[in-house]
């Protein structure tokens, strides 16, 4: 990273991307509403949100494809509007909704990328990194979605950029391809690059991101590590107990425990308890004190999907405070409907 | 030389367009075919009385004007709008190219494609001329090629400018055709229409024509191209010479070939500047 800093010869104070009060309106539609965000150099930052939340609009502003209605965007110390050429010289981009030049080969695409960056990369080496070197002389018009995505990633890697901006990078990739994409993202981070990528695919984010920001209806509703976001929701563990026979006493005893936020009886033998991680043994003790015999128990962490849903749907408060994230579990419920899918 | 990178990419891409190959083939057939006809059908060459490069070029001029303008629409109208429509502009502008680089690169890349088509056509035709004509004037032929390439640059420029104003490839094509119709057909009505108004809504009593009337007749790109070539080749088709008898006074400078070249340069610069302004301000 220090090497890159020296190359650049300017001060960006360790900040790769800084958005301040970013606003974008299209007519009377507000795409972005007061987004402020700081991405540090050298981190892998996941930009999460459902389709239409404003992820691509944010990226388009970083690259000066669109101009903000208000607010500023700074990339590697350069203003995204007035210094866009410097930004794009230092950044590798995998845009969303791009189209390749169907009549040009993969090699010709790379040659264009390399010449554009005035770098001296070898096109074949870059194609090898993304695993499509054998298709170097085939026209991109015949490529599958996954190959196109790999080709554009190779183009983004040209010139060893300080910052990679990847919009939905795993689109069109099979699980193997997605894993290779994650490996490349990590390798780029290890080289000293910052990686900023948007996704609505949560596994991608969880697997590689140091921090994530969650965008919802044009507003940034959360920025933190995944673990911290999970903790903030409160429903950080779900205990599924199998007992010989569920009684109202058991349900009542568990529900009154301080760290339990929800209890539900699933049929005759199962109790689902939502609680803080360190309250699990207290729950089991309470069940046994109420005369139950625990045959088996299982712990499920809040899935990323649940966390995501909690932050991005209207059922849940935008910013979470203690004890509000449990709305999916109610106390006690007689009919054993599955909680959140 | 960021625009050169864009131009090279664009040239590589556009030269493989099937529509372009069809237009080029049509032009080669037309131009070489016209040369064969000119050499073998006496009625076509009887004005001059002998087969000459000049006589042929005068015939070719009308064909060339139509070919260049139509080919420029095919090649140029989608240049920028098409990329924005498909989304390849995000790939292009994700790299450090300014929007001015893109406009200039597109202009050069697309003009190069059309230039290749023109030069291929002229080269094939040259073979026909050398084989069938008793004489050949290389100077006339070279002048014809040079001014035609300038005309191609101008027309592609107009179409690239049109293309820079919209994000829809279909709309750009429609605008391009509209501009073509305006310039090629309605443009011819400009001078008479103005004359009609200035003359008190009648054409009565016009013995001589003022210089500005002659100028309005050579103010569209095609007319300027034809006037410039007529002037430089001296084949008697230049506006100043055909209107000579009717002009009230000596031939004014603005009817000379050089003035027409200046008019062509304006047609190159002004539309592109306007198109660039629109493109520079646009959200992609």
Is there a single domain that holds both residue B51 and residue B68?
A: yes
Per CATH, the architecture of A3-229 is what?
Answer: 3-Layer(aba) Sandwich (3.40)
pLDDT at A127: 96
Between A201 and B29, where is the model more confident?
B29
Is there a single domain that holds both residue B234 and residue B180?
A: no
Please state at what angle helix B257-281 crosses helix B221-233, rounded to 10 degrees: 150
pLDDT at A271: 85
> Domain A236-300 carries which CATH code?
3.30.70.100
A119-144 mean pLDDT: 95
The pair of structure tokens assigned to A140 is: 């991109």
Would B270 be classed as within a structural domain?
no
Q: Nearest CB to B94: which of A63, A100, A108?
A: A63
Q: Which residue of B has its CA nearest to A105?
A: B13
- pLDDT for B74-108, tens place per residue? 999 999 999 999 989 999 999 999 999 999 999 99
Please state, rounded to an integer, the average pLDDT across all residues of chain A: 83
Q: Is the pLDDT of residue A338 over 50?
A: no
A→B contacts (Cβ < 8 Å), by residue, are 60, 63-67, 84-86, 88-89, 91, 93, 95-101, 103-104, 108, 112-113, 115-117, 152, 155-156
| Test mutation, B94, B101, B105, B279, chain A, max A CBs within 10 A | B94
- Residues in B closer than 8 angstroms to A78, CB to CB, are none
Least confident range of A6-10, A302-306, B65-69, B114-118: A6-10
Do A165 and A62 meet the contact criterion of CB atoms below 8 Å apart?
yes
A159-181 mean pLDDT: 90
Q: Which residue of A has its CA nearest to B11?
A: A104
Would B268 be classed as within a structural domain?
no
Q: Is the pLDDT of residue A15 over 60?
A: yes
Q: Is the pLDDT of residue B242 over 70?
A: no
Q: How does residue B240 score in pLDDT terms, banded at 50, 70 and 90?
A: low
In order of A229, B197, B245, B246, the CA distances from B202 in angstroms are 82, 7, 22, 18
3 state SS of B247: strand
Is there a single domain that holds both residue B251 and residue B144?
A: no
pLDDT at A304: 63
Would B277 be classed as within a structural domain?
no
Is there a single domain that holds both residue B137 and residue B56?
A: yes
Please report, to the nearest 10 degrees, the dihedral formed by the alpha carbons of residues B75, B81, B82, B83 taken in order. 110
The pair of structure tokens assigned to B99 is: 């929007």
Q: Please report the ipTM that was assigned to this predicted complex.
A: 0.86
pLDDT at A234: 57
Burial bucket for residue B226 (CB in 10 Å: 0-12, 13-18, 19+): buried
Quote the pTM value.
0.81
Q: Is the pLDDT of residue A255 over 90?
A: no
Q: How far is A257 from chain B (nearest CA, A)?
A: 56
Between B275 and B60, where is the model more confident?
B275
Would B279 be classed as within a structural domain?
no
Provide the domain limits for residue B107.
Answer: 2-184
Q: How many domains does chain B have?
A: 2
Q: Nearest CB to B13: which of A64, A86, A104?
A: A104
Beta strands in B131-175 (DSSP E): none
pLDDT at B65: 93
pLDDT at A334: 36
Q: Which residue of B has its CA nearest to A65?
A: B284
CA distance A152 to B92: 11
3 state SS of B137: coil
Q: Decide which of B147, B162, B184 is a domain's last residue.
A: B184
Q: Nearest CB to A88: which of B8, B94, B283?
A: B94
Is B249 near chain A, with CB under 8 Å? no
- pLDDT for A193-203, tens place per residue? 999 999 887 76
Q: How does residue B156 score in pLDDT terms, banded at 50, 70 and 90?
A: very high
Between B190 and B145, where is the model more confident?
B145
pLDDT at A320: 36
Q: How far is B2 from chain A (nearest CA, A)?
A: 7
Is there a single domain that holds both residue B214 and residue B137?
A: no
Q: Is the pLDDT of residue A335 over 60?
A: no
A155/B91 Cβ within 8 A: yes
Is there a single domain that holds both residue B22 and residue B56?
A: yes
- Residues in B closer than 8 angstroms to A99, CB to CB, are 83, 86-88, 91
Q: Is the pLDDT of residue B43 over 80?
A: no
pLDDT at A336: 36
Q: Domain segments of chain A: what residues?
A: 3-229, 236-300
Q: Nearest CB to B87: which of A64, A99, A112?
A: A99
pLDDT at A327: 34
Is B100 near chain A, with CB under 8 Å? no
Is there a single domain that holds both residue B168 and residue B196?
A: no
pLDDT at A305: 65
Please state, rounded to an integer, the average pLDDT across all residues of chain B: 87
Is there a single domain that holds both residue B24 and residue B86?
A: yes
Is there a single domain that holds both residue B11 and residue B113?
A: yes
Q: How does residue B236 score in pLDDT terms, banded at 50, 70 and 90?
A: low
- Residues in A closer than 8 angstroms to B78, CB to CB, are none
Q: Is the pLDDT of residue A229 over 90?
A: no
Q: Nearest CB to A101: which of B88, B96, B98?
A: B88
A95/B13 Cβ within 8 A: no
Would B153 be classed as within a structural domain?
yes
Q: Is the pLDDT of residue A1 over 50?
A: no
Q: Which of A109-113, A262-266, A299-303 has the highest mean pLDDT?
A: A109-113
Q: What share of chain B is helix, strand, coil (3-state, %, to 5)?
A: 75, 0, 25
- pLDDT for B177-224, tens place per residue? 999 999 988 888 888 888 888 888 877 776 677 778 888 888 999 999
Is there a single domain that holds both residue B125 and residue B225?
A: no
B160: Cα within 13 Å, side-chain hemisphere: 29
Q: Is the pLDDT of residue A35 over 80?
A: yes
Q: Is the pLDDT of residue A238 over 90?
A: no
Is there a single domain that holds both residue B175 and residue B132?
A: yes
Q: Tell me the sheet residues that pair with A35.
A: A22
Q: Is the pLDDT of residue A114 over 90?
A: yes
- Residues in A closer than 8 angstroms to B19, CB to CB, are none
pLDDT at A268: 83
pLDDT at B150: 97
Q: How does residue A246 score in pLDDT terms, banded at 50, 70 and 90?
A: confident
CA distance B158 to B107: 9
Q: How does residue B244 score in pLDDT terms, banded at 50, 70 and 90?
A: low
Would B6 be classed as within a structural domain?
yes
- Express as a percent the part of chain A with pLDDT over 90: 48
pLDDT at B53: 82
- pLDDT for A60-89, tens place per residue? 999 999 999 999 999 999 999 999 999 999
Would B131 be classed as within a structural domain?
yes
Would B116 be classed as within a structural domain?
yes
Is there a single domain that holds both residue B178 and residue B208?
A: no
Q: Which residue of B has its CA nearest to A140?
A: B13
pLDDT at A120: 94
- pLDDT for B127-138, tens place per residue? 998 888 888 888
Q: How far is B179 from chain A (nearest CA, A)?
A: 27
B235-253 mean pLDDT: 63
Q: How does residue B49 score in pLDDT terms, banded at 50, 70 and 90?
A: low
Q: Is the pLDDT of residue B250 over 80?
A: no
Q: Is the pLDDT of residue A11 over 60?
A: no
């Amino acid at each position: 990273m220090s090497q890159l800093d020296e190359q650049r010869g300017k001060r960006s104070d360790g900040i790769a991307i800084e958005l301040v009060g970013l606003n974008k309106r299209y007519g009377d539609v507000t795409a972005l509403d007061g987004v402020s965000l700081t991405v540090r150099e050298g981190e892998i930052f996941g930009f999460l949100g459902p389709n239409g939340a404003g992820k691509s609009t944010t990226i388009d502003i970083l690259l000066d494809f669109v101009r903000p209605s208000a607010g500023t965007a700074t990339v590697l110390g350069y203003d995204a509007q007035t210094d866009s050429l410097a930004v794009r010289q230092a950044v590798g981009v995998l845009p969303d909704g791009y189209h390749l030049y169907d009549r040009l080969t993969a090699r010709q695409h790379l040659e264009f990328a390399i010449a554009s960056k005035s770098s001296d990369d070898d096109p074949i080496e870059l194609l090898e990194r993304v695993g499509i070197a054998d298709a170097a002389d085939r026209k991109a018009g015949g490529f599958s979605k996954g190959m196109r995505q790999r080709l554009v990633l190779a183009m983004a890697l040209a010139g060893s950029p300080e910052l990679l901006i990847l919009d939905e990078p795993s689109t069109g990739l099979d699980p193997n391809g997605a894993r290779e994409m994650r490996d490349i993202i990590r390798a780029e981070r290890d080289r000293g690059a910052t990686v900023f990528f948007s996704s609505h695919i949560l596994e991608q984010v969880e697997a590689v991101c140091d921090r994530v920001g969650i965008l919802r209806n044009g507003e940034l509703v959360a920025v933190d590590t995944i673990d911290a976001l999970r903790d903030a929701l409160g429903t950080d563990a779900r205990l599924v107990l199998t007992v010989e026979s569920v009684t109202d006493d058991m349900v009542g005893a568990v529900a009154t425990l301080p760290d339990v936020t929800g209890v539900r009886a699933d049929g005759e033998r199962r109790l689902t308890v939502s609680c803080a991680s360190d309250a699990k043994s207290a729950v089991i003790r309470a069940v046994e004190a109420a005369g139950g015999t625990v045959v088996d128990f299982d712990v499920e962490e809040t899935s990323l999907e649940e966390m995501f849903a909690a932050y991005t749907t209207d059922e849940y408060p935008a910013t979470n405070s203690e004890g509000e994230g449990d709305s999916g579990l109610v106390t006690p419920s007689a009919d054993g409907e599955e909680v959140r899918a | 030389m960021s625009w050169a990178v864009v131009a090279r990419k664009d040239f590589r891409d556009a030269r493989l367009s099937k529509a372009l190959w069809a237009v080029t083939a049509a032009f080669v057939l037309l131009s070489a075919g016209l040369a064969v006809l000119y050499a073998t059908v006496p009625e076509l060459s009887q004005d001059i009385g002998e087969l000459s490069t000049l006589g042929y070029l005068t015939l070719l001029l009308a064909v060339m004007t139509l070919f260049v303008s139509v080919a420029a629409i095919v090649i140029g109208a989608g240049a920028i709008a098409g990329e924005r429509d498909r989304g390849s502009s995000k790939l292009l502008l994700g790299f450090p190219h300014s929007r001015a680089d893109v406009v200039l690169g597109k202009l050069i890349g697309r003009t190069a494609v059309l230039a290749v088509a023109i030069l291929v056509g002229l080269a094939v035709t040259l073979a026909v001329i050398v084989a069938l004509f008793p004489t050949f004037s290389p100077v006339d032929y070279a002048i014809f090629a040079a001014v035609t390439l300038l005309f191609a640059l101008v027309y592609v420029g107009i179409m690239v400018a049109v293309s820079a104003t919209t994000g829809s490839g279909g709309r750009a094509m429609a605008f391009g055709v509209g501009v073509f119709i305006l310039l090629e057909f309605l443009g011819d009505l400009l001078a008479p229409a103005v004359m009609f108004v200035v003359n008190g809504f009648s054409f009565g009593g016009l013995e001589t024509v003022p210089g500005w009337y002659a100028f309005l007749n050579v103010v569209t790109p095609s007319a300027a191209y034809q006037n410039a070539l007529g002037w430089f080749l001296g084949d008697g088709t230049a506006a100043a010479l055909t209107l000579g008898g009717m002009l009230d006074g000596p031939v004014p400078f603005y009817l000379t070939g050089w003035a027409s070249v200046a008019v062509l340069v304006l047609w190159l610069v002004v539309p592109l500047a306007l198109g660039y302004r629109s493109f520079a301000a646009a959200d992609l």
